[in-house]
Amino acid sequence: MLYYQCLVNKRTSYMTTWLPQEYAELDKYLELKNDDDQWENGWQVVDIYDPPMEEAQLMERSQDYKRTRKASDI
């Protein structure tokens, strides 16, 4: 399954998120989970970025921060 990085907004809030290809459609309204794991309706897709990523590649990239942290001197 392909995922696209998208910019979504709700009123005055903007957020960048990865969406499955079937939901990555300009001007589409979505229901997304918030930080409290509750569903929020009314998020609008306002931009879609290329290139898309396969799900396995996206999951692998989501763990890159662990290697970065080990390599840094912080």
CB 2 within 8 A of CB 9: no
Is the previous residue joined to 51 through a cis bond, with omega within 30 degrees of 0? yes
**Structure confidence at residue 43 (pLDDT):** 98
**Structure confidence at residue 72 (pLDDT):** 72
Q: Tens of pLDDT along 14-51? A: 999 999 999 999 999 999 998 899 999 999 999 999 99
Give the domain ranges of the chain.
2-71
Between residues 29 and 72, the one the model is more confident about: 29
- Residue 57 phi/psi, 5-degree rounding, is -65, -40
**Structure confidence at residue 73 (pLDDT):** 63
**Structure confidence at residue 65 (pLDDT):** 73
